[in-house]
Amino acid sequence: MKREKLLRSFAFGFVGALSFLIMSFSSVVAKEKVTIAYIGSLTGGTSHIGLGGRNSVDLAIRLRNADPKTKYEYQVVSIDDECKPNIGVQAVTKAGSDHSIVAAVAHYCSAVAMATVGVFHKFGLPMVTFTAIAPEITDAHKYKEIHRIIGSAIGQNEIGPAFMRKLGYKTWAVIHDTTAFGTSNDKYFTANLEKEGGKILAKFGVPPDQQDFTAILTKIKELNPQVVYMESLAPLGIRVRLQMNKLGVDSQFDSNSGVLSEDFTKNLGPIAEGSLSRRIGKPLDELPEGKLFLQKYAEQKYDQPADVWGHYAYAEANLLMDVIEKVGPNRAKIAEALGQIKDHPTVIGRVTFNDHGQNINDTSDVMVVQDGHWIVWDRSEYASGKRKLKRLPN
Amino acid sequence: MSSDILVQYLVSGLMLAMIYALVAVGFTLFFGVLDIIHFAHGDVFMVGAFVALASFLSLSAAGVSVPVVQLLLMTVASIAALALLGILTARYLVLPMKGAPALNVLLMTMMLGTILRESVRLFYPEGANPKAFPSLLPTNSIEIGEISLRVDNIIMLGFGAATIICVSLLINRTRLGLAIRAVAQDEETAKTMGINYTLVVMLTFAVGSGLAAIAGLISGLYYNEINFSMGLLLGVIGFSAAITGGLGNIYGAILGGILFAGLQTIGAVALPFGSAYKDVFAFAVVIIIMTWRPTGLISTLSSERV
């Protein structure tokens, strides 16, 4: 009996020691999982951009996990903010209270980002905003958690008025949505246009879900401005351009970067021809890693295209993972390290944050729809004079 | 202001007024017959637009490409689907709650609206995104002197007006209309006289919902875009129009629709900074009218309802 007991104890001891060894070994082999949140508009009128951003974050994580040199295994949790501030606050609260999430790429819509910066700060959750460009998102505070690699609305609202005035346009009618995004853009656009000597004949603030623009556009037709400038997102931009066409408003359509999307050209078809907008950052094909991003994105066969802003989400996810590799998956350390970022290489170019978390390397371009696609103005037939914009002064 | 611009304002206002009036008449019919506020009616309008779009896509897939045929079949499909939805709503949701406090029915219809809205958002392919609605009417214009009128607007206005006239004739000149008016005036007496009360209520819901289908179709053709939340504000506006005109009176509903559209147009273009507050302005005026004429602009005696 004693011998049997001894043998049993030995067997238990052996199995226990073996289990311990296996567990220790596997912990060395398996990498620690690190979760990044993607919070964006996955449903609603701007979801084509939000889904492109989500896929681009997913692509960055897949490529990073395939690299054997990484210390961690990364994963993404996607949360829908519906481009609505109240839903955005709920989404960030959910991400902030989940301690497995160490950082976030968040928000296409500025109105949402402006509502959530305080929530990110409260939870100490570092974020790099996807493409929310209202200057106040970074400039109105010094929260160390908040960062932005895309240029703010200030840059595009400087080059836009100057460009249009150079072409000879003199009179404008402005339609802006009454969200924080629309009003913030309008503030900078109006100031710069007045500085450039342009004249705003009328300005119309509209709710972000307005369907009917016929009364406003009839008023604009009566005022007969050379340019109708739209400061909102693609859904409203599409409605205004469509209803301009129906009412015979022949002013040149111009817009801020919120309207720039493939949905605009897809929904409007030939009506979109000659429409103007702004793009922040350099064209992908001018960026060293731009073509590689497009090629890798295509290889994954996502259901949705990356759209015009997907490479920003890709750059932001990579930036976060670079920082995590350096300081570990700790919210406070990540936020601190992000603040120290200087001349960091990304797919969109070098990133250096100022003391508000805003990337100081910021460029903007004028874009024009030519044959159903947004292209940079300088490369278009409009720039070469082969095609003409509407109401272009001689 | 040139006469062309003035006519443009008028046509835009009339298009809005017609859509509001079609929805408001539905509210008035439901209230007239059953004394209920059918708060899902705005979302029923949205479902009508989506059924029309789905029909168009199915017809295109089946190779039917003649716009007149497409439009005709879209209209029939949309009216039929929503009439059925109206009948089912009346039979299985509204009638069983007859006798329950009015607040319960109000809540139930609000919840039905949420279900309809969320169902389209979740189950229609990419239902959360705005959908391009086909342009199936002629887009050329007729020039009369300085005035330019789009043919599609004339067709839509004519179709909407004809629909409202047909409903008026249905209510005032047919046996069904007589039964609806009888039920609206005195349910018990109508039953005693042999009117099938349940059938009349179901048919009233079918007519009201069918009108919402036509409004949804016209809205899609006018704006060339529909989305799952388009009925939310329209439901409130349609209800306000019905109340302002005089709930229970179809002419009141039409008047309310015209008034509301006019107020929105004036708010958007004539007031300083008005475009952002056009709805605030229109609803504020409605509140004033309701205070001045609590029973609506066209007062209705209970014996004259519908």
pLDDT of res. A123:
97
Complex confidence, ipTM: 0.83
B157: helix, strand or coil: helix
Q: What is the mean pLDDT of chain B?
A: 91
What is the maximal distance between C-alpha atoms in chain B? Answer: 61
What are the contacts of A240-246 at 24+ separation with CB within 8 A? A240/A175, A240/A213, A241/A268, A241/A271, A241/A272, A241/A275, A242/A267, A242/A268, A242/A271, A242/B223, A242/B224, A242/B225, A243/A212, A243/A213, A243/A214, A243/A217, A243/B223, A244/A217, A245/A271, A246/A214, A246/B139, A246/B150
CA-closest candidate to residue A233, choices A32, A4, A46, A390: A46
Please give the pLDDT value at position B241: 93
- Asked whether residue A347 is domain-assigned, the answer is yes
Nearest CA distance, A274 vs chain B (angstrom): 20
Residues A172 and A87 in one domain: no
Q: Is pLDDT of B101 > 70?
A: yes
List the beta bridge partners of residue A376.
A367
A198 lies in the same domain as A303: no
Could you report the per-residue pLDDT of B192-218, keeping only the tens digit for each?
Answer: 999 999 999 999 999 999 999 999 999
Bigger pLDDT: A21 vs A394: A394
d(CA A378, CA A292): 24
Cα B185 from Cα A333, distance rounded (Å) = 74
User: Both A216 and A229 in a single domain?
Assistant: yes
Does the residue A209 lie in any domain?
A: yes
Count CB neighbours of A328 within 10 A. Answer: 15
Provide the sign of the torsion angle of the four alpha carbons B172, B174, B175, B176, taken in this order.
Answer: negative
Q: Is residue A293 part of a domain?
A: yes
Best mutation target among A47, A209, A219, A228 (most B Cβ atoms within 10 Å) is A219
| Inter-chain residue contact B13 with A215, CB threshold 8 Å | yes
Asked if A182 contacts A155 with a C-beta cutoff of 8 angstroms, the reply is no
Nearest to B275 among A206, A238, A242 (CB): A206
Distance CA B217, CA B19 (A): 10
**Is residue A139 domain-shared with residue A50, that is, in the same domain?**
yes
Contact assessment for residue A38 and residue A105, using Cβ atoms and an 8 Å cutoff: yes
Higher pLDDT, A262 or A175: A175
Closest CA to A289 of A229, A357, A241, A349: A349
Q: Is B1's Cβ below 8 Å from some Cβ in A?
A: yes
> Mutation test of the interface with chain B: which of A200, A246, A249, choosing the one with the most B Cβ atoms within 10 A?
A246
Do A124 and A195 belong to one domain?
no
Q: Per-residue pLDDT averaged across B84-89, rounded?
A: 97
Chain B residue with Cα closest to A182? B276
What digits encode the pLDDT tens for the residues A137-158? 999 998 999 999 999 999 999 9
The whole-number pLDDT of residue A16 equals 65
**Number of helices followed by number of strands (H, E) in chain B:** 11, 4
The yes-or-no verdict on residue A18 having pLDDT over 80 is no
Per residue in B44-76, pLDDT (tens digit) is 999 999 999 999 999 999 999 999 999 999 999
The β-bridge relationship of strands A171-177 and A227-231 is: parallel
Least CA distance to B265: which residue of chain A?
A: A215
A252 and A378 housed in the same domain: yes
Q: How confident is residue A3, by pLDDT bands cut at 50, 70 and 90?
A: low
Q: pLDDT averaged over chain A?
A: 91
Cβ pairs bridging A and B (under 8 Å): 75
Which of B:9-68 have CB within 8 Å of A? 9, 12-13, 15-16
Report yes or no on A392 lying in a domain. no
Sheet holding A227-231, edge to edge: A199-206, A171-177, A227-231, A252-255
**pLDDT per residue as tens digits for the range A361-382:** 888 899 999 999 999 999 999 9
Instruction: State whether residue A201 is helix, strand or coil.
Output: strand
Count of domains observed in chain A: 2
Pair A299, A18: CB distance under 8 Å: no
CB A95 within 8 A of CB A145: no
Answer yes or no: are the C-beta atoms of B190 and B34 closer than 8 Å: no
% pLDDT > 70, chain B: 97
Confidence of residue A180 (pLDDT cuts 50, 70, 90): confident
How confident is the model over A222-265, as pLDDT tens digits?
Answer: 999 999 999 998 889 999 999 999 999 999 999 999 999 888 99
Cβ separation of A218 and B5 shorter than 8 Å?
A: yes
* Distance separating alpha carbons of residues A131 and A120, to the nearest angstrom: 16
- For chain A, percent of residues with pLDDT exceeding 90: 79
pLDDT, position B122: 85
Contact: B8, A48; criterion CB under 8 Å: no
- B230 or A22, which is more confident: B230
User: What is the pLDDT at residue A10?
Assistant: 65
Q: Provide the domain limits for residue A357.
A: 32-151+284-362
A44 lies within 8 A of chain B by CB: yes
**Residue A334: inside a domain:** yes
Task: Tell me if A160 is assigned to some domain.
Answer: yes
> What are the φ and ψ backbone dihedral angles of B110, each rounded to 5 degrees?
-65, -40
**Quick check: B128 and A248 CB within 8 A?**
no
- Residue position matching structure tokens 């509140």: B287
Based on the fold, state whether residues A307 and A269 are members of the same structural domain: no
A316 with A370, same domain? no
| Cβ separation A178–B276 shorter than 8 A | yes
Mean pLDDT score, A299-310 = 91
Chain A interface disruption, residue of B1, B8, B146, B273, most A CBs within 10 A: B8
Rg over alpha carbons for chain B, rounded to the nearest Å, is: 19
Which tens digit of pLDDT belongs to each residue from B156-199? 999 999 999 999 999 999 999 999 999 988 889 999 999 999 99
What is residue B34's predicted lDDT score, i.e. its pLDDT? 82
Among residues 202-261 of chain A, which lie with CB inside 8 Å of chain B?
204-207, 209, 211-212, 214-216, 218-219, 221-222, 235, 238-239, 242-243, 246-248
Residues 131-160 (B) with a CB less than 8 A from some CB of A? 132, 139, 141, 148, 150
Q: Is the pLDDT of residue A26 over 60?
A: no
What CATH number does the domain located at B3-304 have?
1.10.3470
Residues A217 and A309 in one domain: no
Do residues A39 and A139 share a domain? yes
- Would you say residue A329 has pLDDT above 80? yes
Residue with more model confidence, B230 or A283: B230
Q: A249 and A163 in one domain?
A: yes
Query: Does B300 have pLDDT greater than 80?
Result: no
For residue A17, tell me if it sits in a domain: no
Q: Could you tell me the pLDDT band of residue B302, with boundaries at 50, 70 and 90?
A: low
pLDDT in tens, B120-138: 988 998 887 788 899 999 9
Interior CA angle at A214 toward B236 and B163, to 5°? 60
Residues A374 and A296 in one domain: no
Query: Quick check: is A393 in a domain?
Result: no
Give the position of tokens 């708010």. Answer: B267
A116 within 8 A of A92, measured Cβ to Cβ: yes
At A199 the three-state DSSP class reads: strand
Give the pair of three-digit tokens for residue A41.
């508009």
Segment of B126-130, B273-277, B302-306 carrying the highest mean pLDDT:
B126-130
Residue A300: CATH number of its domain: 3.40.50.2300
